[in-house]
Structures are given as structure tokens and as C-alpha cells.
Structure 1
Amino acid sequence: MRVEVVTAVHADYARFLPAAWESLRAQTHTAWAWLVQIDGPASAVRTALVGCGAAEDARVRIATNGTREGPAVTRNVALGRTTAPFIQNLDADDELEPGALTALATALDTHPVAGFAVGQARDLLGSGDLVEFPLPFTPGPIARGALVSHWETEPGRYLLPVHPAGVMWRRDLLLAAGGWSALYNMEDTGLLMTASALAPGIVVEEVTLRYRRHRNQRSTQTTNFEGGGEQISLVRQRAAALLAGPGWGPQLVG
């Protein structure tokens, strides 16, 4: 089954692209293409892709926004370029485990009612060490709305049930959910909860994502943004409204 891997990247993260590229080259699943969408100035990103050899590979398709628009817009622009039935997100500073695409695509292929698949993620520290964080689910199907129920947002405690950066999406569901949400530092969380409110998913046993920890991450930056609580409320209200409806049905391919 074809998989298209979507990566939004800006100049500051260009240095991470060779590692992301090597993680793609190591995949046991070979029917993939990499859609790199450049957010803002393109020179540093193109230089990095040429330097690691990715730009010469026919499976790599590079496009630019022309302006700096942020991760949600950039991923959605890349989504508009996709045609494959399965879409894998890969943040520019992260890496996929070698068996990630195989495990996730196989799970979706064998569970046609599942709209998304996700595996374990490990933090990749600057030292090179990997730190595991077990999921609150056993491998197998998870019910529609389960991720919303397990999302912890109480004051002083914020915890997502799965890592949204490593999800493989059924493209039909991704389109129905409207792509990545227009939220500040929560664009992938908004999508994750919307998708869970629309469809069941599947958890694979394998570790699929290496999530790089570094000082330049948006999630570690101080900010004057004061709308975090309102954003959480919006995501929860949207999820509740969707859960009250009929949900999403897969468009099966014969």
C-alpha cells in the first residue's frame, strides 16, 4: 500500500533533515514518497536536502510556500499535494523507526474501519539516549472517542494519550477532519482529537517514532500567548459535537 510522508520544515530545522532522510531510507516498507513542504526561505532546506542526497531521489518531492505560514498551514499545503491512501506525518526534527511504515500501514490495511494508526514513541535526547513512554492502550483497535477520553488537561497536568507527531492517517479521514487545526502549538492535537471523535483507530505494538528533544522546539519556548485554555475548550467542544454525530465511514478501495 502506498504511503506518502508529509514533512513541514523551515530553515532553522534544515539541519535535522539528513537524519529524517536516513530514517526513511531505512524503512522496510518501500512503497513511500516524501513530500517536503518548505515554510519560508528555501535556501537552507534545499541545501540540506542536496547535501544528504535526498534531493536526487525520485521519491522526494519538494515544494515551497513562498512565505512563512507555520506548521499547520504548511502541512495542509502538503496534504493538498498527496494522492496516496495513507499519509504519515514526520516532523523535520524527528525520525521514524525502521519498521514504522510497515507496522502502521499493515495495521490500517488489515483493519479497514480504523481511520488512523499509531505506535509507541521514544524521546531522542541530545546524548543519543532513547527514553520510552508506554501508551495507556494495549495493541489493537481503540474505540471512537477513546483518545478524547484519555486526554488529560487538568490544571497542572497535561498529557496526551498518544504522540500526535507519529500518527499514520487514512487520507479520507484526514480530509474529513479538515487537516491540521488552526491552533497555536496544538495543531496536531486538534487534529488528533477531531479524528478520534470521528473514527476508531488502531495501536500497534512496535515503537514507530523517535521524537527529538532539543532547545529550539516550539513546545519549549516561552510565550506570551494566553489562549491555551480556550483552545483546549474549543477542541473538547468540537470533539463532543462530532461524537454526537454519525462519525466517519471509510471509503474502501477494492
Structure 2
Amino acid sequence: MSRRIIVVTAVHAPSARFLVDAYKSLCEQELPPGWQWRWLIQEDGTTDQVTPHVPDDERVTFKQGRPGGPGVARTIALAGADGEYVKVLDADDQLAPGALARDLAALEADRSIGWATSRVLDLLPDGSTAGFPGDPEHGPIERRDVLNYWAGHGYRLPIHPATLFVRRELLVALGGWMALPASEDTGLLLALNATSRGWFSSEVGLLYRKWEGQVTGQAAHVDTAERAARMAVVEARARALEHFEWRYPLGSG
């Protein structure tokens, strides 16, 4: 029987047109023998504007639900995640060649590693790409490293949560993505780092699309008061997990 990587995508009407590029990048992934991917697309809402953009592929499942933001959409999609691993792929982004295989190899090689991330390039409107300095070293990320860096650098992450690849059992144990209007993926990443070791691949794993309608480009995303509240609850959750010394795998130091 084939083993599965479940790719989870939250989508809303404005980003639906990019699903074709996300799908193409997924189809170009090569996995080791005995492995396959399955794509769960969850609309954050119940419009009739997303369905026409969903690929006609038996490996793709599309569902809708009442709107609650991308974190809610991804978390409800976990109800259908019947594989060992979950990979995040936002509707407007694209996987780089080999991304799934590299993530899989890192976690299959070391049971103490709960999640993986990778280098990102911004995909600009003209089709060009741009990187940025400051990536961590290729290899393992120890517990608390991301959390402490984030807290000491103005709430800036050293790795990108949009590249996350995670063991399903660990993701479910932490409750999925946080119930926040934004930064829900930052909250998950910090909770993962508070409880388990991770991995960073210095090879590009994601093309992160920059476009006028993206959620992170809206004024509400940078509202000072709301952002402060988000950061406070994100840190409080991670520190609480750290305090109670919950570890993955259980019994690890």
C-alpha cells in the first residue's frame, strides 16, 4: 500500500486563479517508490468562484465551509488528512522542484525531527524571483531556536511557515493552526519549535507569490493593536508548551 503525503491548501475566491500554477508545481514533484501525494483544497467560504479552478484529478479533494480565515480552513481540512505527513501549500504559491522529496527524506531519516521548512524565493508580479539573506544553516533546528530568535528580533521569523512539512500526529496534537485572524501559521511554527526539533533545507522549496490581493498585503494585517495582540497570544502559547515540558517524541530531552 502506498504511503501518503497530504498537501493542504486554503483558498478564497481572489486566490483561486492561482490554483493551476500550484497544481502544476505539485504534479512536477517526484517521490520515492511507494509514496504518493493527495491534495486537500479547502475553500474559506462557500462561493461558486473557486470550483472552476479546481483541477480534475482523483488525487484532489475539494471542500467548502463557512469562512473563518486560512487557519480555520486548513485545520478543518485535517479531517480528511489520512497520510503520515502534512505539507502546507498556499493557493497562490508554488512548490520548487524536489521540495516534497527533500522534506520527506529529512523526517524519514530521523524520528526525532517533527517538521521541516526550506528556503523561499519571492515570486514577483513580473515573473522574476528574489531571495533574501539570513537563512539558518542547512540541517537540524533545535527546540526553542526559532522561538528565541523570533522574540529577540522584533517578531521576525528566521524561517518561513508557508514551507511547513510536518508529521500529522504532531500537527493534530497541537490543534492545527491557531484561531487567529492572521499569524496563525507563525503560531503553529512556534508551538512546533517549542515541542520538537525541526529541519531546514537550504535548497529552495517554495516560490512565494507577491501580488496585490494577497492577505498579508492588506492594511488590517499590519494594524498595530491587532498585531501586538496576535504576537502576545502566539508567544504565550509557545512559552506555555515550553513550561509544561511537552516533548516530541515523548520522553525526549
C-alpha displacement of 1:153: 6.5
Matching of residues 163-202 of structure 1 within 5 Å: 163-202=160-199
Q: Does residue 39 in structure 1 map to residue 44 in structure 2?
A: yes
| Contact 2:147/2:194 (<8 A) preserved | yes
How far does the alpha carbon of each residue in 1:143-168 deviate from its partner, in whole angstroms, 9 at most, with x for none? 111110111566xx542111101110
For 2:140 and 2:217, the matched residues in 1 are separated by: 32
For 1:132 and 1:64, the matched residues in 2 are separated by: 34
For 2:15 and 2:123, the matched residues in 1 are separated by: 16
| Contact 1:34/1:59 (<8 A) preserved | yes
26, 37, 42: which one pairs with 2:28? 26
Number of equivalent positions:
243
**Paired position in structure 1 for 2:11:** 9
Q: Secondary structure at the match of 1:159?
A: coil
For 1:115 and 1:31, the matched residues in 2 are separated by: 20
Supply the AA of the counterpart residue of 1:125: L
- Unmatched 5+ stretches in structure 1: none
Q: Secondary structure at the match of 1:116?
A: strand
How far does the alpha carbon of each residue in 1:83-109 deviate from its partner, in whole angstroms, 9 at most, with x for none? 111100000000001211000011111
**Paired position in structure 1 for 2:240:** 241
Q: Does residue 136 in structure 1 map to residue 141 in structure 2?
A: no
| Contact 2:40/2:61 (<8 A) preserved | yes
| Contact 2:119/2:135 (<8 A) preserved | no
**Paired position in structure 2 for 1:216:** 213
For 1:186 and 1:7, the matched residues in 2 are separated by: 16
- Unmatched 5+ stretches in structure 2: none
Supply the AA of the counterpart residue of 1:77: I
Q: Calculate the aligned-residue CA RMSD, in Å.
A: 1.7
Identity percentage of aligned residues:
39
For 2:134 and 2:164, the matched residues in 1 are separated by: 13
C-alpha displacement of 1:35: 0.5
193, 200, 205: which one pairs with 2:202? 205
20-29 or 219-228: which moved more? 219-228
Supply the AA of the counterpart residue of 1:26: E
**Paired position in structure 2 for 1:116:** 115
Supply the AA of the counterpart residue of 2:200: V
Supply the AA of the counterpart residue of 1:32: W
Supply the AA of the counterpart residue of 2:240: A
159, 162, 172: which one pairs with 2:156? 159
